[in-house]
Amino acid sequence: MNWDDTTDTPAEERLVGASADREDQAVEAALRPKDLGEFIGQEKVREQLDLVLRAARARGATADHVLLSGAPGLGKTTLSMIIAAEMEAPIRITSGPAIQHAGDLAAILSSLQEGEVLFLDEIHRMSRPAEEMLYMAMEDFRVDVIVGKGPGATAIPLELPPFTLVGATTRAGLLPPPLRDRFGFTAHMEFYEPAELERVVHRSASLLDVEIDPQGAAEIAGRSRGTPRIANRLLRRVRDYAQVKADGLITQDIAAAALAVYEVDPRGLDRLDRAVLTALLKLFGGGPVGLSTLSVAVGEERETVEEVAEPFLVREGLLARTPRGRVATPAAWAHLGLTPPRSQASANGQGDLFGA
């Protein structure tokens, strides 16, 4: 949840929170790989992207526009920075929600330098007028700026220097085909395997000057939900615990104890995930139950449950979305150590709740 200056939070608390956010951002920036050789995982994407960039450099041309899709935390922003570094070009970063008018986009595009990389995060949330302007900018490196209103309005063509657009989205299906088709290279970022995340943890621990043994790295990686950003965040919290409660060395026992303090269980479920499952099982007998009702039961916004908790729970096989509502799977009952009611067990056995 984002808080602004209209909240009732005391000023000193907001300043402390902002300082902590800046510190976390600085640490994340320091941990980002600087080139494709340092980037861990996403082997196919790295190989394909390397060919695209090397060919562009050999031709002395600007790289094709790139679309990166996938869940948050998999490295889309990092890859955009690597693209700029590999092409030895500056990068400008903005996001779809920040571009609500065509004029906003025109101002950004008109100030780009030749060869510059424009990273547009959450590109699916850009306004339709800006989106339509982007079509021409990507294809012809030109935009038409409308001056005036009504019958007297005129379009002034504005030539743009060649640039590379890197779009990132967590919901590629929301992009209209005309926009998607204008990208010369598209890639989907996959969740990481535990072995890959162990390499991420070891690399980050080295950069943070943290001692960690292989078992400690494996423990963190196994609870990171297939996401490097989460792995790095958990590593920093385990580091804090190891410095305060132990001798600084992260072992499997230390990592497990630290993550228990931060309410991350061995399967990677956090407080919200368990709250959703607990409400679904204990209050609603395993479902089916509507998303709005489930959200009220856990005291969270509907969007938070749907976009933060549900994707992981579904991917882990703990929850199913059906036409009649959300339903817990037998694995959910087993994970929380609960016994399903006879009616739920019977329904699960028949499979009629999991057909869609």
Give the whole-angstrom CA distance, residue 141 versus residue 57: 19
Q: Please, which residues have CB within 8 angstroms of residue 323's CB and are 6 or more apart in sequence?
A: 356
Give the whole-angstrom CA distance, residue 172 versus residue 64: 19
Cβ-contact 196, 41 below 8 angstroms: yes
Q: Is 227 annotated as a binding residue?
A: no
Please tell me which residue in 46, 229, 233, 239 is annotated as part of the active site: 229
Beta partners for 322? 325
Q: Active-site residue 149, yes or no?
A: no
Q: Is 78 annotated as a binding residue?
A: yes
Q: Is 229 annotated as a binding residue?
A: yes
* Cis? peptide before 90, omega within 30° of 0: no
Q: Is 349 annotated as a binding residue?
A: no
Please tell me which residue in 62, 169, 170, 329 is annotated as part of the active site: 170
Q: Is 77 annotated as a binding residue?
A: yes
Q: Is 241 annotated as a binding residue?
A: no
Q: Is 209 annotated as a binding residue?
A: no
Please tell me which residue in 76, 223, 225, 239 is annotated as part of the active site: 76
Q: Is 304 annotated as a binding residue?
A: no
Q: Is 73 annotated as a binding residue?
A: yes
Q: Is 302 annotated as a binding residue?
A: yes
Please tell me which residue in 62, 77, 227, 251 is annotated as part of the active site: 77
Tokens at residue 194, please? Answer: 């535990």
Q: Is 141 annotated as a binding residue?
A: yes
Cβ-contact 231, 220 below 8 angstroms: yes
Q: Active-site residue 121, yes or no?
A: yes
Q: Active-site residue 76, yes or no?
A: yes
Tell me the residue type at 38.
E
Alpha helices in the chain (DSSP H): 11-31, 43-59, 76-86, 102-110, 128-140, 177-180, 194-207, 214-222, 228-245, 252-261, 271-278, 291-298, 302-304, 310-315, 330-335, 342-350
Q: Is 32 annotated as a binding residue?
A: yes
Q: Is 182 annotated as a binding residue?
A: yes
Give the whole-angstrom CA distance, residue 120 versus residue 104: 13
Q: Which string of b and e fits 191-230 if b means at least 16 CB within 10 Å?
A: bbeeebbbbbbbbbbeeeebebbeebbbbbbbbbbbbbbb
Annotated binding site for Mg(2+): 77
Positions annotated as catalytic residues are 76-77, 121, 170, 229
Annotated binding site for ATP: 31-32, 73, 76-78, 139-141, 182, 192, 229
Annotated binding site: 31-32, 73, 76-78, 139-141, 182, 192, 229, 302, 321, 326
